[in-house]
Amino acid sequence: MMSYELIGITVLWLFLYGYLIVASVDFGAGFFAFYARSTKQDHLINRLISRYLSPVWEITNVFFVFFFVGIVGFFPDTAYYYGSALLIPGSIAIVLLAIRGSFYAFENYGSKESTVYLFLYGATGLLIPASLSVALTLSEGGFIVEQNGVVSLEYLTLFTSPLSWSIVALAIVSVLYISATFLTFYASRADDQPALKLMRTYALFWSTPTIIAALTAFIYLSQHNERHFQNMMDLWWLLALSVGFFMLSMWLLYNGRRYGWAFICVMLQFFCAFFAYGIGHYPYILDPYITIQSGATHESMGIALVIAFIGGLCLLVPSLILVFKLFLFDADYVKGNK
């Protein structure tokens, strides 16, 4: 049987992946909405975006809190190290999330359309992934130092490291790529030709930077953390699969049919890459301070969390399916008839 800490990290990694996908759609949509407004094409896609995103933005946010609470629960040491080091970047992320959350409420349910707010919505869409990706960079080690029981973040090292910037770049372009493919698919469901055309252009455009940024980050990783890089090389087949799915989604998008499959391919592409990255990181959560075994909570708590998790999923999965049925796969709703 798998040990509970391994189950824990697997589950959390799955949730982080889930957040990566749903949040990317959300964050990218903000940028596209703003970009479309500044190029006077907003009438094409704004309705599409608000139609899908309004019912689900809270769910997206919960994914994040879920991962966060989960990792502190399963691995309390992460609270100590990451908590101490991330006081400032974490607080910035909170503020950005706050601006974004208020956008949904105020813009969609209350205020008139304001360009300032739309700008903030677009800007946070790019800044949040950037600020959150800092945590991934930190996990590679070398940025957090513990001296005399005081944990601190080496800002200078962080800001001058090509690795951290390449991860930020990767986070931003993948957000745009994932989001554009999803919105292309959603536009095709809504049978909204102008929006479809626009989003397809965006999706095709952002595919190239995505793959370039992924390669760059990979190269800098090899220089920064030899062990992690070697582990990922041993998982070469997962990375190859990821590239394969990427090519497939490109081909589907280019041919302009089966956008649903194109989005699934994008999801699989990121799934393979994300898990190759995660498995390669094993056994460290924070190199070299926390490993999965040393940082895990007590067994009784770990088991209780796993049970709570299974129980929670029994509630969540049917509810999520209901949401998707009502807002994603209900053709009438998508087309705006309901």
Partner 1 sequence: MDIDPVLWSRLLTGLTLTFHVIFATVGVGVPLMIAIAEFVGIRKKDPHYILMAKRWTRGFVISVAVGVVTGTAIALQLALVWPNFMQLAGNVIALPLFMEVFAFFFEAIFLGIYLYTWNRFRNPYTHWLLTFPIVIGAGMSAFFITSVNGFMNQPEGFVMEAGHFVAVNPIAAMLNTASPSKVFHVLTSAYLTGAALLAGIAAYTIVKKGASPYYKKSLNLMMVVVLVFSFLTVIAGDVSAKFLAEHQPEKLAAAEWHFETESGADLILLGWLTDEQEVRGAIRIPKALSFLAFADFNAEVIGLEEFPPDEQPPLVVHYLFDMMVIFGFVMFGVALLYFLFLFWKKRNELNKWLLRAIVICTPLAFLAVELGWFYAEVGRQPWIIRGYMRVEEAATSSPNVVPLFFFFLLLYIVLGTLCVIVLRRLFRNNPAEAELESYMKEMQDQAIEKGEPS
62 binds partner 1 (CB under 8 A): yes
Question: In terms of CB distance, is 67 or 182 closer to partner 1?
Answer: 67
The reply to whether 54 sits near partner 1 by the rule CB under 8 A is: yes
The region, left, alpha or beta by phi > 0 then psi within -120 to 50, assigned to residue 319 is: alpha
CA dist 48 and 34 (Å) reads 14
Q: Torsion angle of alpha carbons 182, 188, 194, 199, nearest 10°?
A: 20
Q: Is residue 50 part of the contact set for partner 1 (CB under 8 A)?
A: no
Q: How far apart are the first and last CA of the chain?
A: 48
Residue 321: CB atoms within 10 Å: 11
Among positions 124-153, residues that touch partner 1 (CB under 8 A) are 150-152
The number of residues that bind partner 1 (CB under 8 A) is 64
Q: Is the torsion defined by CA of 278, 282, 283, 286 positive or negative?
A: negative
Q: Which is nearer to partner 1, 196 or 290 (CB)?
A: 290
Smallest separation (angstroms) from partner 1 to the CB of 313: 9
Q: Which residues have C-beta within 8 Å of that of residue 327, sequence separation ≥ 6?
A: 52, 55, 56, 333, 334
Q: Which residues pair with 153 in a beta bridge?
A: 144
State how far the Cα of 143 lies from the Cα of 179, in Å rounded to an integer: 31
With respect to partner 1, which residue has the nearer C-beta, 97 or 268? 97
* CB of 6 vs partner 1, minimal distance in Å: 17
Measured over the CA atoms of residue 206, residue 208, residue 210 and residue 216, the dihedral's sign is negative
Which range, of 94-102, 189-197, 246-254, 262-270, touches partner 1 by CB under 8 A? Answer: 94-102
Residues 96-125 that bind partner 1 (CB under 8 A): 97-98, 101-102, 104-106, 109-111
Among 38, 43, 87, 215, binds partner 1 (CB under 8 A): 87
Contact residues toward partner 1 (CB under 8 A) are: 54-56, 58-59, 61-62, 64-66, 68-70, 72-74, 76-84, 86-88, 90-91, 93-95, 97-98, 101-102, 104-106, 109-111, 150-152, 297-298, 300-301, 304-305, 308-309, 312, 315-316, 319-320, 322-323, 326-327, 338
